A and B are shown apart, each in its own frame.
Chain A
Amino acid sequence: MKHKISIRFFILIFLLIMGFVQIVSLYQFYHKEKRIVGHLASVSVKETILNVYHIVKKTFQKQQDIKKSKAKIDNIKISNNFIKNIIITDDKAHIIYSSQRSKTKIPKNVCNNLKKYDKNTIFLYSAYKKDIELYRGIKRYVYFVYVVTDKDYINKLVMNALYETLIYFFIMAIITIGLFWVFFERDIIIPLEKLRQFAYYHTQKPKEFLIKELESIRYSLDITFDRLEKEQRELYNLSTKDSLSGLYNRLSLFDKIDWLISKSKRDQQKFAILFIDLDDFKNINDFLGHDIGDEVLKIIANTIEQSVRDIDFVARIGGDEFVVVLPEYDNNMQIVEVANRIINNISKPITINDKSFTIGASIGIVTYPKNAKDKTELIKYADIAMYKAKESGKNQFYFFTSKLNESLHEKLSIQQKIKKALKNNYFELYYQPKVDMKSQKIVGCEALIRWNDPVLGFVTPDKFISIAEENGYIVEIGEWVLKEAAQQIKKWQDTPLKNLKLSFNVSAKQFQDIHFYEKIYEYTKDIEKQKLDIEITESVFLDNTKKHIAIIQKIKKLGITFSLDDFGTGYSSLSYLRDIPLDTIKIDKSFLDNFDNESGKSFIKMIINIGKILSMEVVAEGVEKIEQIEFLKSNECDIYQGYYFSKPLKLQEFEELVFRQL
């Protein structure tokens, strides 16, 4: 239905129609009243004419006789309100009597024919005339009687009747309309408006209504809204709350942040977001089970809530990720206080099922509008800051800074470019010679990846390897290195370089690649596998040690040897050396850097001895001085590599170097 009208308008139209009907009725009434008055007046005037006619006819002998009848005619006139005047004239139009004593004129617009004179014509003529014939002897005298109607009176009678009816009609109509309107307004319009508001806002429940139907609607709405409210509350909790912790969820958090951003635009109030991630929570789930993990999360959620102010907002947005929004703060110290309080409270020992343990939390802090402009950025930057806190040693907080952001962007940029570099083959292997300590001949080399980007230029490994490890590109890069190394071994097979042993580095991430062994097998199936050496670090054994050892043993069966790179710098454990079938250990350059002091020398000696005891070949890295070589030689180190002999070289340079030695 396109055209809608309000009830008020409908009633107004109804009243207007009623009013129109009343006006028509009034008009009819007016005419009826006019006919009645006209009838009475015409009858009365006719009687008057006849009476005067009779008096004149019976008493007149001569004109002077009028005086005898004057009182009678006066009386006729006085007793009749319809008559204004009675005039008698002679045949020469001389007035011989006028009930109005003042100077009188013979009226015009006179009706001569009484038969025509009726209820309608009385309003047309001003007077009615009748001639009276008298005879004195045989002489004929004619007199005329004029009865002048009191038109003012007659009209007044009609108009008074109409006026009074009109007044009563209007007053009654107004009273009726007024009463009707009051009733209508009070018992229909207002209740309907209340019902509308109630239906729309659900805020003010109307009181009981007089009208049964409206009351029924009100009651039904009330019941329905109660039920809806209950369901809505449940749905709201489901949609806005985290079912485990009872805290707000991610959706609510985003709503809250949106709201705060809008508010901040109006009142310039800044706010802060604390992104909380529990440190090593995975261990709890892994070692104590998810049930305990969930209990811990509940306790932590409660702890965080207890650590913040009433106005602050706490949400759980992931497994062990919480976000606290501080809607108002004056300075960073207030944020620091809250962050410290959260860290300290979370750090307190937790006891579940008689087991006590502690847990830490890292917090990334971001502020609006200083750090970001929308909720996505805010959460992202808080997350970055949180990771920075973790990187910085965990159980601490870190404020997001633009520098942090820049490094992140750089990291992201490098991530994208690694992909491109792989596709366009911007990587290249450099070869650093490994020199036999005794013969001072090149016995092998370490293939080191280099990135020669047409845009970035020469990118050193320390700038992209860690990033590649973070995003998993290291698997592809490692595969590329494996492939290149294997091909190089094959190329050297029938050359004077055929005895060189080629080492290349494999990341711990590559061991997580379920196809790692197959790839090794595939790429090395056509080469002498003894010429290939895989350099790994102790990080390979941090996770899934047994699995990784099994892979190493499987690869070793192919004939490929393993070197432990950067020995002594990480989580070095002698158990690794015992359990892992390694062939070579490489002394990290940092030990060589401390060659100048006795302590440094002792460590180098100790590593060499370990290698000797375990029948492993020992390779020293980062050798830059002759003194280092002499020391290593005197301590029976087998092989060295470093800038003293040669930096990592391009293939051709490396091959030329080797050829020169031959």
Chain B
Amino acid sequence: MFKKFFLYFVVIFIFSGCGGDSSKKPLIIVSNAWIGYAPLFYAQEKGYLKEVDINVISVVSLAEAMDVFMVGRADMVTTTEHEYKKIKRQFQDFVPIILLDRSDGGDMILSNKTIRELKQSSQIDAYLEVDSINFDILSEFLKKEGISKKKIIFHNEDQASMQSLKYRSIPTIIVTYVPYDYTFKKKGYFEVASTSNLKTIVVIDALCTTKGIVKKYKNRLLKLKNIIDKSIKEITVDKKKSYKMVAPYLDDISYKEYIDAFKTLKWINHPDDKILNVIKKLGYETGDMIK
């Protein structure tokens, strides 16, 4: 009897000792300033995420967020198609788990010149995060308007550092997104294209992670999905209240800008078949998605 008990004890010890109780480990989501990620910031400020021991850190750009994830400083990351595919190349088990929004004007191209003037210009300075969806949007714009890439001088900067760009007289293009666009607009730049009129490009924002994390923290992720759903609902219902919480994450945009920003996206946290087909075509793996 005692021998059996002792054997069980040793076995339990070995297994428990080797594995450790990692289900208690806090999970980190790395994100960046984008109105579509407001539910995450809201849930963070409301304390909903504490219930599932998840923390959100915010960086200045999608590329920064991607880097933080790829060096292992975060367990989940918010991505667009661009970052998703890039990470996927390195991490084969990288999958989207929760769809957040589809950009519907939230990603845009600003300029100090009209499209016509841009077409006529021999040289255009373009400010963007090259290694991001910014580049895809710009490429789509140039293709659509028939502007040659050869006359584009690319300036790779993150959205935060771009903020200090002054109004210029020489033809300039800024590829940006909400909420960074407001600073440029205040300086005199105006929108020449956005995801609302560039119909050929689809910008999906999703929370992604590795299959290992999904498998390991299935229950917590299911709860996270519920929290996100709840947060979207609460943000939608009471924008004023959510504004106070979320604004610091969005470069301290004004309330009006905040309200307007929601017009540039569509929530897809409950994706229909159409959206699912779209993202499948974009190359997303949907098997682990929490709908």
Contact = CB atoms under 8 A, between A and B. Distances in A.
A75 B64 contact: yes
A102 interface: yes
Interface stretch (B93-101, B158-166, B200-208, B219-227): B158-166
B73 A79 contact: yes
A249 interface: no
Contacts of B45: 102
Contact of A70 (B9, B10, B57, B60): B60
Interface in A571-611: none
Contact of B60 (A74, A102, A168, A178): A74
Interface string B154-174: 000010110110000000000
Contact of A103 (B2, B60, B163, B248): B248
Interface in B17-75: 17, 30, 33, 41, 44-45, 57-61, 64, 68, 73
Interface string A165-209: 000100100110011001000000000000000000000000000
A89 to B, nearest CB: 15
A71 interface: yes
Contact of B249 (A70, A101, A174): A101
B2 A74 contact: no
B58 to A, nearest CB: 5
A78 interface: yes
A533 B54 CA distance: 143
A510 interface: no
Q: How large is the interface on A (under 10, 10 to 19, 20 to 34, 35 or more residues)?
A: 20 to 34
B182 to A, nearest CB: 13
Contact of B2 (A64, A174, A182): A182
Contacts of A295: none
B161 A67 contact: yes
B13 interface: yes
A543 interface: no
A80 B57 CA distance: 13
Interface residues of B, number: 29
Given A67-B161, A102-B249, A103-B248, 14 more contacts: A67-B163, A67-B164, A68-B164, A74-B58, A74-B59, A78-B73, A101-B248, A102-B45, A102-B248, A168-B17, A171-B17, A178-B6, A182-B2, A182-B6
Q: Is the interface of B mostly helix, strand, loop or mixed?
A: helix
B245 interface: yes
B44 A102 contact: yes
Contacts of B160: 67-68, 70-71
Q: List the 8 closest A-B pairs by CB distance, nearest first.
A: A101-B249, A70-B160, A67-B163, A71-B60, A68-B161, A101-B248, A67-B160, A101-B58
A374 interface: no
B13 A175 contact: yes
Nearest to A98: B248
A10 B190 CA distance: 88
A522 interface: no
Contact of B57 (A64, A78, A175, A182): A78
Nearest to B44: A102
A518 B151 CA distance: 177
B248 A71 contact: no
B64 A102 contact: no
Given A64-B163, A68-B164, A101-B41, A74 B64 contact: yes
A79 B71 CA distance: 10
A88 to B, nearest CB: 14
Interface string A55-81: 000000000110111110011001100
A154 B172 CA distance: 48
22 contacts: A64-B163, A64-B164, A68-B163, A68-B164, A70-B160, A71-B160, A74-B58, A74-B64, A75-B68, A79-B73, A98-B248, A101-B58, A103-B244, A103-B245, A104-B248, A171-B13, A171-B17, A175-B9, A175-B10, A178-B9, A179-B6, A182-B3
Interface string A382-420: 000000000000000000000000000000000000000
A102 B245 CA distance: 7
B161 A70 contact: yes
Nearest to A68: B161
B205 to A, nearest CB: 17
B59 A71 contact: yes
B77 to A, nearest CB: 12
Contacts of A75: 59, 64, 68
Contacts of A79: 73
Interface in B233-274: 244-245, 248-249
Interface string A410-433: 000000000000000000000000
A67 B159 CA distance: 9
Nearest to B33: A101
A70 B252 CA distance: 14
A112 B3 CA distance: 61
A86 to B, nearest CB: 12
Contacts of B68: 75, 78
Contacts of A64: 163-164
